[in-house]
Chains A and B, each alone.
Chain A
Amino acid sequence: MSRSGRIAIVLGLLACAVFMIVWVAMNFVGSEPGTVSYLTAQAPGAPVHLVMQTDGVVGTGAHPTWVSYRIQTPKTHVFVHTALVELPANSMIDVTIYQFDSGSPLRNQFFGRVTGTIGQVAKLNGKTFKVLNSYDTPNGQGVGHTFTVPSLNINVPLEGNNTSKPTFCTKGPCSPVTQEHTTTTFAFRTPSFSGNFRFQCFIPCGAGHYAGNAGPMQTLGYMGGFLEVRA
């Protein structure tokens, strides 16, 4: 082969390698879910009303059958498929979580206890509780998910739903107006300093994966995300 031919092959392979590296990098950068910001959603010092939902089937995106958190935008009130949310520091956060997924016993009943919230309590459908016995929840449906922020010691179990109900949500985003769900409310205060605080579900909900802990449990934006606290 001539010298120019060899050079052409080398340059061609080099171009392919560069293209693949750029393609992987762009996909990696573009794969991070969006962030819903609650930084300016209310007057300074006023409580933040954070609204979320947990779907049994997210319905969209690369993994439409996975479970996921969704976060409501404060202005348009649309549930966005993400688990990244910006919150102001040193603020009271009033949280409402609409839980649409089915439930089961917790893998570790330790996470049946409410911790880290104001008063160490939460409300399930308007009724205050401290502990959910995941084998004997008020509606008998076990626990669907938990909202847990380990570094802030926040843990709130979210009761599951009956899949046999005709209004059981089978594709997200689900409607808290027309579809079967439980409503859990609680409040907590964000730290006075900036930081990203990991939150995740502590009941393995990656069905079809070993120990239920892969898939959506291992993917940012599904059953794990960050409270991005900004001072």
Chain B
Amino acid sequence: MSDDIESQGWTRAPAGPTAGTGARREPHHFRRLFAMWFVVSLAGDLVWWFVVGPHVPPGTMTTQARGAQFDFNVLFLASWVVVSGVCIYLGYAFYQWRASRGGPDPVGGPAASSNVRVQTIWITTTTLIVIAAFIFGTVQLILPQGAGGGEGPDPIWKPTSDKVLPIQVIAQQWKFTYRYPTFGGMETSTLVIPADTWIAFHVTSIDVIHDFWAYQLGVKADANPDVDDVAYVHTSGQLGSFTVRCDELCGIWHGAMFDYGKVVTKTQFMAWGSRTERANADNTKYLPPFAWTYVPTANTTTGVTADTSGQAPYSRIEKYGATPAKKTVTSPKTTSSTFTTT
């Protein structure tokens, strides 16, 4: 086989103007390829890091969002190095080793069928890249405190801050509402959060499975009936609005199940909370007592709210709804729907 290839002369330079005066000197392809790859990959990475990267979703509204943005950027930088190398090699091969019109079909020489050195370098490099991506992804999943994902009813990680603001996210077909135990258990259709604050989203549902996706906050947590799915985020100093969407197909109006939240200053937040608490007081008293999951049948004829008197606005999360003595509320409609607020 190799003899045939050799006899066709395609392991050497093809016949050309220098034919008859000796074979044309083969250029150093690896140096050429390396130089092109180095320039393209470095330029691409620099452009991405300094120009595109700061605008990559989900942005920098929270520490968790910033962590996700960093992950995306790092993975892009790494993948661009690989992609640019493959594309440059492909383009170079198409051009450099193309068939000449009317000439014989190009075939590879012995080195093209097997090269232990190249194979070893390739396998080692790709293995190292995959292992590095695995380690990076695993570490990053832990370091930014779970990256804002729903961590279930018993998170393995909790903020050490003693000023975590709890907000209950209640999903139902087809709207999100939000309950603030900090403000007497009021329930609103608007999600307003303060800047530079640890926030614990307690995500639950009162019917089917939904998903709370606060895009720019880097939060995405499943909303399951009778489950308190906790997701922690720390807002940065960036103010503005963010989008909340349901990310679990939940019925005919799933596509319309979205709203917009707002990050405001702490002062504005406290003013909004106090104002809204007063405005909603006439309905809040009929809501079921605050609990970490929302049990519709816990409504009573008179309504009860959790006792949050004497609690600082930014108490530790464990104090919200947890410190009052255990209180059992029995539904007036069904005997099986007894639940306990802790």
**Does any Cβ of A come within 8 Å of B251's Cβ?**
yes
| A151 to B, closest residue via Cβ | B256
Q: Is residue A103 within 8 Å, beta carbon to beta carbon, of the partner chain? A: no
B283 interface contact, C-beta 8 A: yes
Q: Which residues of B contact A113 (CB under 8 A)?
A: 280, 282-283
Cβ of B229 under 8 Å from chain A: no
CB distance from B334 to the nearest CB of A (A): 11
Whether B253 and A224, one on each chain, are in contact in the complex, defined by CB atoms closer than 8 angstroms, is: yes
With A108-B206, A109-B286, A131-B286 given, is the CB distance from A136 to B280 under 8 Å? no
A133 interface hit (Cβ, 8 Å): yes
Interface of B is mostly: loop
Measured between beta carbons, the chain A residues less than 8 angstroms from B280 are: 113
Q: Is B146 an interface residue (CB 8 A)?
A: no
Cα of A106 to Cα of B298 in the assembled complex, Å = 11
Contacts of B227 in A (CB 8 A): none
Asked if A213 and B301 sit within 8 Å, CB to CB, the answer is: no
Contact flags A201-229 to B (C-beta < 8 A → 1, else 0): 01010000011011001111000100000
The CA-CA distance from A74 to B231 in the complex, in Å, is 50
When C-beta atoms are compared, the residue in chain A nearest to B257 turns out to be A150
Contact between B253 and A110 (Cβ–Cβ < 8 Å)? Answer: no
- B287 touching A110, Cβ below 8 Å: yes
Question: Residue B332 contacts which of A135, A198, A211 (CB distance < 8 angstroms)?
Answer: A135
Q: Name which residue of chain B comes closest to A113, CB basis.
A: B283
CA distance A41 to B319 in the complex (A): 57
Minimum distance in angstroms from A124 CB to a CB of chain B: 15
Contacts of A217 in B (CB 8 A): 173, 251-252
Contact present for A200 and B174 (CB under 8 Å) = yes
- Whether B299 contacts A134 by the Cβ 8 Å rule is yes
Contact (Cβ within 8 A) B170 A213: no
Q: Is A112 an interface residue (CB 8 A)?
A: yes
The answer to whether the Cβ of B208 comes within 8 Å of any Cβ in the partner chain is: yes
Beta-carbon contact of A218 and B283 below 8 Å: no
- Does residue B108 face the partner (Cβ distance < 8 Å to A)? no
Tell me whether A109 and B256 are in contact in the complex, defined as CB-CB below 8 angstroms, given that A131-B283, A213-B173, A213-B207 are known contacts.
no
Q: Is A171 an interface residue, CB under 8 A from the partner?
A: no
CB contacts (< 8 Å) of B332 on chain A: these are 135
- Interface contact A105-B187, CB-CB below 8 Å: no
A137 to chain B, nearest CB (A): 11
- Contact pattern, B 320-342, Cβ under 8 Å of A = 1, otherwise 0: 00000000000011000000000
Q: Does A2 contact B (CB under 8 A)?
A: no
Cβ–Cβ contact A135 & B283, under 8 A: no
Q: List 14 A-B contacts (CB under 8 A).
A: A105-B296, A108-B296, A109-B283, A109-B288, A112-B286, A135-B286, A150-B256, A153-B189, A202-B175, A213-B207, A217-B173, A217-B251, A218-B252, A220-B252
Query: Nearest 3 pairs between A and B by C-beta?
Result: A113-B283, A211-B207, A107-B296
6 further A-B pairs in the complex, CB-CB below 8 A; given A109-B287, A202-B175, A224-B252: A105-B299, A108-B296, A113-B280, A135-B332, A136-B302, A198-B253
